[in-house]
Amino acid sequence: MKISDIKKALNLTVYAGEEQLDNPVNGGYVSDLLSDVMGNVEEDSVWITIQNHKNVVAIATLREVAAVILAKGIEPDEEMLHFAKEEGLPVLGSTEEVFPLSGKLYKLIK
């Protein structure tokens, strides 16, 4: 599955990383605790969070996350957006709550 497939299926907004939407996705992870994500997220996963600052980009690129999805209508702050564009990290958004969004992502990937 590609990020573009997830974007389309979940009706996501793309904030950054449009040129990377054909990258593969092999799993998902949901957490707002950055140290948890740093220690446990797998490469090429989609990370769902409500954190919207530059440290999200730092961890996502360090752990080679395929994309970040911001839930609950939260948008990236200016620094996050700047660093995501600089790193080529896809940052997408959804107005859905985390629980239903993660369930839909799970069904798509598995």
d(CA 5, CA 61): 21
Name the average pLDDT for the chain. 97
pLDDT band at 110 (very low <50, low <70, confident <90, very high): confident
Per-residue pLDDT, 62? 97
CATH code where residue 101 lies: 3.40.1390.20
Residue 4 pLDDT level (bands cut at 50, 70, 90): very high
* Domain count within the chain: 1
Model confidence over 36-51: pLDDT tens digits? 999 999 999 999 999 9
Please check the confidence at residue 18 and state whether its pLDDT lies above 90.
yes
72-101: buried (b, 16+ CB within 10 Å) or exposed (e) per residue? eeeebeeebbebbbebebbbbbbebebeeb
d(CA 24, CA 1): 6
Average pLDDT, stretch 11-29? 97
Q: What is the pLDDT of residues 53-108, one digit of tens each?
A: 999 999 999 999 999 999 999 999 999 999 999 999 999 999 999 999 999 999 99
- Look up the domain containing 87 and give its range: 3-109
Cβ atoms of 108 and 1 within 8 Å: the answer is: yes
